[in-house]
Amino acid sequence: MSDKEKSPIEKIDEQIESIRNIELEEEKEEKEEEKENETKKIDSIDDIEDTKEGLTINEIDIKEQKEDTKIIEKQEKDSNKEKNKIKTNNKKKKIIILVIILLIILIIILCVIMNHNKTIKTKSKTKELTKEKQEKIINGYGDALKGIIAVYYDKQNVLLEFEDAEKLIDYKYKVECKEHEIYEDGNIYLNKCQIDNKKTSYSYGKKQEKKETPIINEDDIKVYVSKENGKATLKEPSKKDDYETYGFNIEGAYQNLTLLSEKDSPFVLYYDNEYLVHMINFKTKEKVLDGLNYQAILPIQYDDKYDSSFIAIQVNDKWGIYNIKTNERVVSHKYDNISPRLYMGTSGPVTCINALEDGVIAVENHNYDYSKANYGILNYRDNKELLPLDYKTMLHSGKYLWTIDEFGDGHIFDHYGEELLKDKYDKIYWAVDGKYILVQDNTELKIISIKGKELYNYKEVELGSINYGLSYNDGALFQFDNPKKEVDDNETECLEVIYDPSSNKGKIKSSSCGGIAKPILYLYPQKTTNVKVTFSHPEYLETTYPKFIGEWNVKACKNGDLYDKDGKYYYGLYWDEKQVHKTDFKEGFYVEKHEAIDFLEEKLDMIGLNKKEKNEFIMYWLPIIEKNEKNLIYFELTEEREKVNKINITPNPDSLLRVVIHVKKVEEKVNIKEEKLTRFKRKGFTAVEWGGTNY
């Protein structure tokens, strides 16, 4: 049996046996020493000389015997003293050894008892943990790990390994999990866990399937860089020897391969089938900011050129800005949206950020409630806030921004955050094209220029809340609720404030708000296409933008951007339409004011609007629905809409969605048959129209 296997009692018996053997050995040595002394005594007598001068032999013998006897007695006495001394010392040594052994034995016994008690306490402590307590411990441990990972990621932009994260937390329970995962979104999964060495059935988080990094092979796609001037091109040159050739591959379907810059950037960008942007370094064959776990990226564009140094990155639903030449983050991830399209809405999938000026973008935070969005302006290159996030509305107007602050007051800013017309008017209602500003000056309503020049004075006018402002016949039109009148069937009457620059005259006229308000048409061809749009009943159209003269002819880009023959930008085609078709509300939905947001988000998803279309729809129609405590709502969809006023689009789109929401105020709850909604499927060249009417 090895020493490790012997018990403490067996070890003590061995030590006592060893002490006994030492004592027996000492007794044996003492006996041998006594015999040796006897022999020495006899030898000393035999060595005495036979004669001494002047004495007889007998006298000499007697005298010598006496002397010898004294010597022997003295030797024996000394020997006995020495023996007694040795015995005394040996006894002391034995006592000391026994005391030490006993102390060692006592310490060993105490250690065994303490360890035993500790084990009992640990087992007892673990046994005492209820199921609720175990679940709480595992959740607390998971939260602590997740928090450390999030903090480290925010500072270093790298996900911690699980073992490294464990070392950074100090948790009062010993928790070990055999299964553990850290995912790209920062969430973690723990399973098969133990608390203080006792198994528990509780896990933490949800298991996700890990996304595999796309494999990029060589040579399927080539970029050619001129040896002479460093310019890059995707087009194969006639003299290949004058160019450096870089090859790479993109896994999966993609479209619109584009160089971020022809000269000073090695990145190629492209879109996947969902219009998500991807970028690859054609020299290293790696994706942009390889190693950073991000949801989406967007290049920044100004004056039709991409910024070759900076790019927007979305992490955990928040946007930040990175310098892709240095791989450094210059703006932290704190914005819900970067550079929202400020043209009374958006136009489909966003494939780049349109800067207001070189290095300047608009930013937005809404915390998932678009009715409470705040806007500001940022110089992203040096992370300088030019206009704080204090504005509830921000719309692009020519070279300027029209905003409304938290108190409902309007403001005009340039793209660098400098305010125009500050404190000069009692109220700024709206700005159109950066040229026509509708203001309240004391008691008078006026149209002024951006420099403050008065263009037309409408004198004193009582107005309700403003609905919108837009370009109209090269001038401007502003629609307000009429605070005084209502027409039949509870249709609110509106007032239109119109300005005509050709005659430098203005007028105010009544109009029904019950027509088809704000129909807007988005066009998404698969490549840049010249598109013509007409209607079967153009006489139904009232206000149009751009001006409709028999037809619209625009150049439509893949992301929905539209341009007229003069190169003027539009995010969609807009019109108002006379109400020639009403619904009887035999089916639809009963919706109360507090349910409006959730209702619109759910139903518009079911119908098939994309995120941007849905956002703009809600921003326009939510305030109208929330004016009423109780509503009936019906959705007029493509087939029904086409029978009223067919839209003709050339070339013919592969898929068309038309949506008109009908909203009616009611005084009490109405039981209504629920309308069945069919989901729209997008394919190929897609056209989407939405509008609505208010009863």
Position 58 scores a pLDDT of 54
CA distances from 277 to 36, 339, 354, 363, 462 (A): 109, 16, 15, 19, 49
- Beta-carbon contacts of residue 436 (< 8 Å; ≥ 6 apart): 447, 449, 455, 475, 476, 499, 501
For residues 424 and 428, what is the distance between their CA atoms, to the nearest angstrom?
10
Report d(CA 206, CA 193) in Å as an integer: 14
pLDDT reported for residue 424: 93
**Residues near 354 by Cβ (< 8 Å), separated by ≥ 6?**
301, 302, 339, 341
pLDDT tens, position by position, 332-386: 999 988 876 443 333 345 678 889 999 999 998 887 666 677 899 999 999 999 9
Question: What pLDDT, on a 0 to 100 scale, did the predictor assign at position 490?
Answer: 46
Check whether 589 has a pLDDT greater than 90.
yes
> Quick check: 546 and 570 in contact, CB under 8 A?
yes
Q: What is the pLDDT of residues 7-55, one digit of tens each?
A: 555 655 565 566 566 666 666 666 666 666 555 554 544 444 444 444 4
- Structure tokens of 567? 């190169």
Q: Find the mean pLDDT for residues 533-546.
A: 83
State the average pLDDT over residues 415-431.
93
Tokens 């060495």, located at residue? 197
Radius of gyration of the CA atoms of the chain, in A: 48
pLDDT band at 112 (very low <50, low <70, confident <90, very high): confident
CA distance linking residue 695 with residue 633, whole number of Å: 10
The per-residue pLDDT for 442 is 94
Q: What's the token pair of residue 509?
A: 């006229």
- HSE-CB for 592 with a 13 A CA cutoff: 5
**pLDDT at residue number 347:** 34
Measure the CA–CA gap between 635 and 603, rounded to whole angstroms: 9
pTM value surpassing 0.85 = no
* pLDDT confidence of residue 208: 82
Residues 6+ apart with CB under 8 A from 166: 145
| DSSP-assigned beta bridge partners for residue 661 | 635, 692
**Would you call the peptide bond into 546 cis, given omega within 30 degrees of 0 as the criterion?**
yes
Between strands 305-315 and 296-302, the pairing is: antiparallel
The residue behind tokens 């439509």 is 556
**Average predicted confidence (pLDDT) for the chain:** 81
